[in-house]
Structure 1
């Protein structure tokens, strides 16, 4: 007998995605190089493969058991959503709606080169809720650009910040250069750009610094001279009252830049 699919609150969001369809197709295990290449993990992390056709979860990183105190690997996305703080569920739903709408605006044909990320609290093995940084790497689509698989990466950032910026970030994966910072609730903290008067270019440079890119790498990605990148870094440190890159990382998380 076929198991009845478990319902979770993101199903209704994903169903508005044009062309979304159901399939029992078994997907291949994704390339581990693709995961590591796009992952930014400054704390304990894990990843899993999400089949968007049926919300099943496979190919887990073993740390998921230790971090959340689980005895068995979750088999369905609902099991992971149940670990999210109840008060954060409305934000997660709104964040996913924002991601879907922005990808449709940019163009579904580019979805494999767009990485959404945002934060929410999850229950840990200690029995409390801590802040996690969520990233989704889209890995497979069919010939009609129907997204069928993603790799989701969760990083515990409680040691960096406990404040959720309630911001969705959508960044481009090479060769795309997209950078969209979308505030979900305007009554919350002002964005870093407005709060500290950062220019758009400085905000872009900050996001790459916080992700661990070197000045040379940032220079290549943004097509700037290394001298210009160093100048931007000095200006960013001054405007944000940060003494070093470590403090910049915390600022970037606080204001939803990574």
Structure 2
């Protein structure tokens, strides 16, 4: 099987890597830069010129070691923790599902002039290999308001198919399928609609519903929804 590529983001990469092919607005040039990460070799393949404009550093110096060196010392442990969390998530999915998710979190970097800025990092799959594993990713850094940071809500994974953020706490230890069904129940779908959508029997959905109520110690989904208003499952 050949490698599978996210053509939308490849077009973005190709446009930016060709001189004078795309002309950025000045405001965008000063607030966003991106780079291409090769997971198979753990190297940076490309970083666009906005990196120099924003940080003051030379593009040629940019690699993963350099990135960790310019991260604010108080944010480095947080960065490493969230990277590990992202790797754990990525290791559980395969093939086109990689293109479904965008991982987001933020941290501070130190610019060449010694000042610091907070960057919101967004990472999504650019290419997967013949084994269905992530091989290349597009990483975007956008300068954001430093006061916008909240540790409890900073790390997010956006599901482009469901058009919603995943729950990452899972305090009730639900399985991935149970989480999926619970999300659909919260959206107002009936058991029949869920069984049709997921292409499983209605009895299977009923079993999952019973297990969800048992795990969450709830008598009904009305009660469970009230619980979820206070605790992100």
User: Structure 2 vs 1, CA of residues 33 and 178 (structure 1 numbering), >3 Å: closer, same or farther?
Assistant: farther
**1:210 corresponding residue in structure 2:** none
**1:71 corresponding residue in structure 2:** 58
Quick check: 2:90–2:134 contact (8 Å CA) kept in 1?
Answer: no
**2:35 corresponding residue in structure 1:** 48
> In the alignment, is residue 119 of structure 1 matched against residue 99 of structure 2?
no
Aligned to 1:32, which of 12, 16, 20?
12
User: Structure 2 vs 1, CA of residues 75 and 43 (structure 1 numbering), >3 Å: closer, same or farther?
Assistant: closer
Specify every segment of 5 or more residues in structure 1 that has no aligned partner in the other structure, as ranges: 1-27, 184-199, 205-258
Q: CA RMSD in A?
A: 3.4
Specify every segment of 5 or more residues in structure 2 that has no aligned partner in the other structure, as ranges: 1-6, 17-27, 170-182, 188-233
Q: Which has the larger radius of gyration?
A: 2
User: Structure 2 vs 1, CA of residues 104 and 132 (structure 1 numbering), >3 Å: closer, same or farther?
Assistant: same
**1:88 corresponding residue in structure 2:** 75
Task: Please give the residue correspondences for 1:56-67 in structure 2 after superposition, counting only pairs within 5 Å.
Answer: 56-67=43-54
Task: Please give the residue correspondences for 1:142-153 in structure 2 after superposition, counting only pairs within 5 Å.
Answer: 142-153=129-140
Quick check: 1:139–1:151 contact (8 Å CA) kept in 2?
Answer: yes
String of CA shifts for 1:178-235, please: whole Å, max 9, x gaps.
522547xxxxxxxxxxxxxxxx99xx9xxxxxxxxxxxxxxxxxxxxxxxxxxxxxxx
Alpha-carbon distance, 1:100 to partner:
2.5
Quick check: 1:83–1:123 contact (8 Å CA) kept in 2?
Answer: yes
TM-score norm. by structure 2 comes to: 0.55
Question: Distance between the aligned counterparts of 1:69 and 1:176, measured in 2?
Answer: 39
**1:165 corresponding residue in structure 2:** 151
SS at match of 1:64: helix
**2:124 corresponding residue in structure 1:** 137
String of CA shifts for 1:57-82, please: whole Å, max 9, x gaps.
23322110121111343342111121
TM-score norm. by structure 1 comes to: 0.50
The count of residues paired between Structure 1 and Structure 2 equals 152
**Greater fraction of residues in helix:** 2
User: Structure 2 vs 1, CA of residues 124 and 108 (structure 1 numbering), >3 Å: closer, same or farther?
Assistant: same
SS at match of 1:81: helix
